[in-house]
Amino acid sequence: MSQVRQYELVYILAPEATEQEVADLHTQVEAIITRYQGELVKTENWGRRKLAFRIGKHREGTYVLEVFKGTGELTKELDRRLKVIDSVIRHLCVRVDEDLRLAERTRARREAETARRIARGLPVGGRSRRSDDDGGDDEPIDRAEV
C-alpha cells in the first residue's frame, strides 16, 4: 500500500521523567513500530539538555532520537500517540530517506569527478585545500552530552 520510508523521530520528555519512564516510552515506541511492520534502525538518547526557550514551564528536557523505517500510517500513529502522552513536551518526525539519498548521490558524483581528474592528471577542483579528507561530513560534531 503505502511505501516504506526512513524517518527520524525526536521527542523531548519533561525533565521530571525518570530513567525508567524514558525506557518505558522507548519500548512503547518500539512496540508501535513493530506492530506496523516497521523496523527500528537506530536509537539515541541525548540525555538532558537545556531548551533554547521555555516549553510550558520547562527549561530542560530529555531528548531521544529514533531512526526507523516504516509507512506513512506508522508515523501517523506515532504522532497521535505522542501527542496524547503528557510527559512528551515536544516531538518531531521527519522523512529523511530522500535527503540522505540525494546527499549520497552528490557525494558519489563528486568522488567520481575527483577520480576522473586524478586519472587525467588535472588539478582537483574546489577551493578547499583539504579535498582528500572527506570522511567527516555526516558525523555530527557533538551529539551525546551526557
Binding site for other proteins (CB under 8 A): 10, 12, 51-53, 55, 61, 63, 65, 90, 92, 94, 99-100, 102-104, 106-107, 110, 126-128, 134, 137-138, 140-143
| Cell numbers that stand for 133 in this block | 579528507
Report, in this order, helix, strand and coil percent for the chain, each rounded to 5.
40, 30, 30
Q: How far is the CB of 106 from other proteins (least distance, A)?
A: 5
Q: How far is the CB of 86 from other proteins (least distance, A)?
A: 17
d(CA 58, CA 48): 12
| Cell numbers that stand for 71 in this block | 509507512
| Cell numbers that stand for 48 in this block | 538532558
Nearer to other proteins, 23 or 102 (CB): 102
Q: How far is the CB of 35 from other proteins (least distance, A)?
A: 26
Q: How far is the CB of 66 from other proteins (least distance, A)?
A: 12
Q: How far is the CB of 118 from other proteins (least distance, A)?
A: 16
Nearer to other proteins, 2 or 53 (CB): 53
Nearer to other proteins, 34 or 90 (CB): 90
Nearer to other proteins, 73 or 134 (CB): 134
d(CA 108, CA 121): 20
Whose cell is 578547499? That residue is 128
Q: Helices 19-35 and 72-84: crossing angle, nearest 10°?
A: 150
Nearer to other proteins, 31 or 92 (CB): 92
Would you tell me how many other CB atoms lie within 10 Å of the CB of residue 96?
13
